[in-house]
Amino acid sequence: MAEVVRMPKMSDTMTEGVLAKWHKKVGDKIKSGDVVAEVETDKATMDFESFQEGTLLYIGVEEGQAVPVDAVIAVLGAEGEDYKALLASGGSAPAAKPTETATEQATPPATPATSVAQSAPTVTPESLGATVIRMPLLSDTMTEGVINKWYKKVGDTIKSDDTIADVETDKATMEVTAYAEGTLLYIGVEEGKAAKVNDIIAIVGKPGTDVSPLLQATTSAPATKAETAPVASATAPAAVPAVEEQSGTSSDGRVKASPLARKIAEEKGINLSQVKGSAEGGRIVKKDVETFTPSAAPAAKSASAPAATTTTAPAVYGQESFTEVTVSQMRKTIARRLSESLFTAPHFYLTMSIDMDNAIEARKRINELGTKISFNDIVLKATAVALKKHPKVNSSWLGDKIRYNNHVNIGVAVAVEDGLLVPVVRFADTKSLSTISAEVKEYAQKAKDKKLQPADWEGSTFTISNLGMYGIDQFTAIINPPDACILAVGGISQVPVVKNGQVVPGNVMKVTLSCDHRVVDGATGSEFLLTLKGLLEEPLRLLV
């Protein structure tokens, strides 16, 4: 009997997932434990294993498309089994079905027109032997997408894994794959124009097929293109013209490059028109940009030099400009969770200065013995020991009750390209400095490689955010829910201090404790900081 496969919830903050890659195709045999797909969440990209067995009868989500948790993404069953009735009864299936569902949704608006209403129900892509390609939903905030580039034209032969276009969303520029074979019969959106999610952007089928009945069933597509064209023209040309005019890599004057190659080139300041592509049709891919040597750079500099020398008052002349960066799923989740934290939990802040002379000496001695540890490792260990003595700080607000944790799991904020991840050092009070150091380094690397798993970032009872390595003396941090507190750690500064009645050079580090006033009072937080201060100023106590 056929069974639906749904988008799993892979983390506590996950509300949707992007189907990054399918490892199976329709008709393949699936065994329990087989990796069928890769799913990108707000935290990482993870393998999705099937816990069901059977033949893959249906794939309902295209690669690169986002769907909510629990939405139908596939159907497994016996070979040749009819699964359409199962899909029709599934509440979340319509949001995930790409072709036939979208056609069914597009049909009802045509019913007011009598002539169309009578013919629309009998015309489906299947009846014409065609596949309708629609603007995919690539993020939960996406309402429309701009066709950045078409790689195929009407009349071209299409294979199922061909990239046919680049679509620019509110998040990023992504490739759209055909997932159909045949001839490209129709292109519904011009380059630089926008289309709403689920609008028809192309149709693939047998040569000579009349696709006008399918287009008549979707009355919203022309209006969408007309309404959104001004928006597309206002944003798209600003980023591309200079490159396009110089490029000679394609017949229409556009540079052929993958979105990833474009992103890397932008970060490195490389003009794509100077890069030779190694992929099919001369298309520029990641390796071409990474191995590119800018031989034409001196010419570019000399071309701009005259303008600088002939301008008598450079400060007077200028041009207003800006760069807009699309929001990643990770950054969007950070914004949502921390906004909820700041505007829900009543924060207050306690700052304390700590003499780090003895900690500096202790770290030097430990590193001389061959075990490399950082000041952050010492702070983490001291914090864990202090939390055991002050369980009210190691707590969570749960609405109608407060949870005081007997275990100490410390989240360590790690900066990555798209934002911030907080892997957790579990039972930190029981671990040695060398163990903590090795664990934090491993988590930091996994975070940057996007290989953290849900078990790595869930279950913190307290969080540390350290910006001292960036030269920050002092700052306040927003509490990471469901923790009741977060410790913001600044750098160690050499300042004059008074010792034994004399002003001498000293090494001082400032820490700021952000507290949820629903759980922690000022006195409670202050007592915790006093204990932490004592441990860091006499680090030998950490070994007792």
Give me the residue spans of the domains in the chain. Answer: 1-97, 103-239, 244-310, 329-543
What CATH topology corresponds to 329-543? Chloramphenicol Acetyltransferase (3.30.559)
> What's the CA gap between 9 and 70, in Å, rounded?
7
CA distances from 85 to 2, 25, 82, 118, 441 (A): 10, 21, 7, 24, 51
How far apart are the C-alpha atoms of 457 and 447, rounded to whole Å?
10
Please report which residue ranges of 269-356 form alpha helices under DSSP H. 286-290, 297-310, 329-344
Q: Tell me if 103-239 shares its fold with 244-310.
A: no
Q: Are 42 and 49 in contact (CB under 8 A)?
A: no
* Contact of 178 with 164, CB cutoff 8 Å: yes
Helix pair angle (375-389, 433-448), 10° resolution: 110
CATH class in words for 103-239: mainly beta
The H-assigned helical ranges of 449-504 are 454-457
Q: Which among 525, 502, 504, 521 has a CA at the least distance from the CA of 513?
A: 525
Closest CA to 196 of 223, 236, 164: 223
Report the C-alpha gap between 498 and 194 in whole angstroms: 66
Predicted local distance difference test score (pLDDT) of residue 139? 58
Enter the CATH code of domain 244-310: 4.10.320.10
Residues in the chain predicted with pLDDT less than 70, given as ranges, are 11-13, 43, 89-122, 138-141, 170-172, 217-254, 258-259, 279-281, 294-317, 327-330, 544
User: pLDDT of 113-163, one tens digit each?
Assistant: 334 334 444 577 777 788 888 888 765 567 788 898 999 999 999 887 788
How far is it, in rounded angstroms, from Cα 68 to Cα 8?
Answer: 9
Token pair of 243 as six digits: 């490159």
Residue 73: how many CB atoms within 10 A of its CB? 27
For residue 395, the number of C-alpha atoms closer than 13 Å in the C-beta half-sphere is 22
The catalytic site residues sit at 517, 521
pTM exceeding the 0.75 threshold for the entire prediction:
no
CATH number for the segment(s) 1-97:
2.40.50.100
**Gap between the Cα atoms of 27 and 34, Å rounded:** 15
User: CB count, 10 Å around CB of 70?
Assistant: 14
